[in-house]
C-alpha cells in the first residue's frame, strides 16, 4: 500500500528540522504558481524568477516561523510578494515610452486591448500608479485587479486586514488627487 503524500504543513515542519528533500518537494509543488502570479505583477521575468528563488531560500531559513494557523500556500505567497516588493523598491523605474512613439504605432496593428494597456501603462493612470509606493500599489493590485477580498489580500500580503483596507483607501485617494491635478 502506497503512503499518501505529505501535506504542505507536514513538509514545512520537516523543512524546519533541516530536511532538504522536503524543501525540494515544496518547491516542486508551489514554485510554478508563485512564479505565474509574480509575473502578473511585473513584466520583468528575471525579477519574478529571482523573487521566487529568494522566497524558497527564506522558507529554508524561516520555516519555524510558520504558525500553522493558515494555508501554507498563503504563507508562501506572503513571503513571495514581500520579496518582489523589496526588489521593486530598490529597482530603477522604467522610462515610459513617449507619446510620440506610441502615436507612431500603426492603429491597425493595435487591438482594443492594446489601446487600453497603452493608456493604462503610459497614460495619466499609469503615471499615477507608478507614483504610489510599492505597498499601496500592491494592495490596490490584489484587491482591484485580482479581485481578492481584503481578507484574502491580507493573507497573501502577510499584513492585517485593516492594513489592506487602509492601503487601498489611501491608494485610491492619492490616485484621485493625482488625476484631478492632471485635469486642472
Q: pTM here?
A: 0.53
Residue range(s) occupied by CATH 1.10.1740.10 in the chain? 1-91
The count of C-alpha atoms lying within 13 angstroms of the C-alpha of 27, restricted to the half-sphere facing its C-beta, is 18
For domain 123-184, give its CATH number from 3.40.50.460, 1.10.10.10, 2.120.10.30, 1.10.3720.10.
Answer: 1.10.10.10
141: its cell numbers: 493590485
Report d(CA 169, CA 97) in Å as an integer.
29
What is the CATH number assigned to the segment(s) 1-91? 1.10.1740.10
Contact residues for 154 (Cβ-Cβ < 8 A; gap 6+)? 160, 161, 163, 164
Closest CA to 51 of 81, 26, 30, 18: 81
Residue range(s) occupied by CATH 1.10.10.10 in the chain? 123-184
Asked if pLDDT for residue 127 goes beyond 80, the answer is no
Q: Over the stretch 37-90, which tens digit does the pLDDT of each residue have?
A: 888 877 788 888 999 999 999 999 988 888 877 788 888 988 998 888 888 766
pLDDT mean over 107-133: 63
Q: Over the stretch 62-74, which tens digit does the pLDDT of each residue have?
A: 888 888 777 888 8
Amino acid at each position: 500500500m502506497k503512503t499518501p503524500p505529505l501535506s504542505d504543513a507536514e513538509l514545512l515542519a520537516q523543512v524546519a528540522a533541516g530536511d532538504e528533500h522536503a524543501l525540494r518537494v515544496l518547491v516542486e509543488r508551489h514554485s510554478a504558481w508563485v512564479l505565474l502570479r509574480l509575473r502578473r505583477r511585473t513584466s520583468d521575468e528575471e525579477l519574478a524568477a529571482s523573487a521566487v528563488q529568494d522566497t524558497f531560500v527564506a522558507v529554508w531559513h524561516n520555516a519555524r516561523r510558520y504558525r500553522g494557523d493558515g494555508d501554507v500556500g498563503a504563507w508562501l505567497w506572503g513571503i513571495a510578494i514581500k520579496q518582489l516588493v523589496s526588489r521593486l523598491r530598490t529597482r530603477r523605474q522604467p522610462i515610459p515610452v513617449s507619446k510620440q512613439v506610441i502615436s507612431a504605432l500603426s492603429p491597425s496593428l493595435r487591438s482594443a486591448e492594446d489601446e487600453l494597456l497603452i493608456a493604462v501603462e503610459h497614460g495619466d493612470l499609469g503615471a499615477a500608479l507608478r507614483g504610489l509606493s510599492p505597498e499601496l500599489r500592491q494592495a490596490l493590485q490584489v484587491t482591484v485587479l485580482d479581485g481578492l477580498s481584503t481578507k484574502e489580500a491580507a493573507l497573501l500580503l502577510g499584513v492585517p486586514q485593516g492594513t489592506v483596507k487602509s492601503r487601498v483607501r489611501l491608494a485610491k485617494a492619492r490616485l484621485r488627487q493625482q488625476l484631478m491635478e492632471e485635469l486642472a
